Amino acid sequence: MPEGQQRFVNPEDCFWKDVYGKHNDWHIVTMKPTGENKESIKIDVAEARHDILHHISAAITASVEKGKIGAVSSPTYDQAPNGYFLVEFIDEPGPGDDQCNTYQLNVVPGASKWWTRSETLYVVDMIHVVDTDVKVEPVSASNMPPTRVRSELTNHTAVKISEESHNFALDEIWRRDQLEYDPNLVDVSGEDVHEVDIGDAEN
């Protein structure tokens, strides 16, 4: 309870205590939606979360640069062991575009955070992109993949996602999850909105 916490107590040594008296106390009330207000509040919250996600998506879209690596949130795609997969942007979406052409990067089984570049074309929905500037480290004397998979990578360009970018992607996925909303409560009749399955590839 608030009254049991020291920071909510009127300080005994307050210089203005004789002037303000009880008026310097905290007044804390519990607000709870009731009756017909509940549905209205649910709609307002859903619309606010919808707007936030689409503002985030617009900022993400504007930050895309051709040739850079991006992280795409996908909790079900089998190439997303940590809840995201990597892509290479092959063009830059224009203002208002909600899709982008990319090349998919493939996970290296048995080698944590290692990926190989591919020529598989993926069209991704920008609202699922959580990072447009993923830092990756190529194979080098100080950055070698596990011995058990090196022979499999002979004919591939392998890279390892940096710990910083890996953690950033996980944090951003968590943040987006907090903004989930019921699309049935949001009126998008005035928007050009359509969902894209990021697991669909164009060969």
Annotated domain spans of the chain: 1-30, 39-202
Rounded Cα distance, 192 and 56, in Å: 16
Please, are residues 170 and 130 in contact by the beta-carbon 8 Å criterion? no
Please, are residues 179 and 49 in contact by the beta-carbon 8 Å criterion? yes
Please, are residues 122 and 102 in contact by the beta-carbon 8 Å criterion? yes
Which residues partner with 123 through β-bridges? 101
Residues 172-184 have a mean pLDDT of 81
Q: What's the pLDDT at 26? A: 66
Residues 116-125 have a mean pLDDT of 92
Indicate the pLDDT class of residue 180, thresholds 50, 70 and 90. Answer: confident
Please identify which residue in the block is written with the tokens 């910083």. 164
Length of the chain: 203
pTM to 2 decimal places: 0.69
**Integer CA distances (angstroms), 43 to 30, 35, 154, in order:** 21, 14, 54
Which range among 2-16, 28-42, 67-81 shows the weakest confidence by mean pLDDT? Answer: 2-16
Task: Tell me what percent of the residues of the chain surpass a pLDDT of 90.
Answer: 38
Which residues partner with 158 through β-bridges? 116
90 or 32, greater pLDDT: 90
Rounded Cα distance, 153 and 138, in Å: 12
Indicate the pLDDT class of residue 134, thresholds 50, 70 and 90. Answer: very high
- pLDDT value at 43 more than 50: yes
Q: What's the pLDDT at 132? A: 97
Rounded Cα distance, 145 and 19, in Å: 71
Rounded Cα distance, 151 and 161, in Å: 20
Q: What's the pLDDT at 10? A: 64
Mean per-residue pLDDT of the chain:
81
Please, are residues 198 and 130 in contact by the beta-carbon 8 Å criterion? no
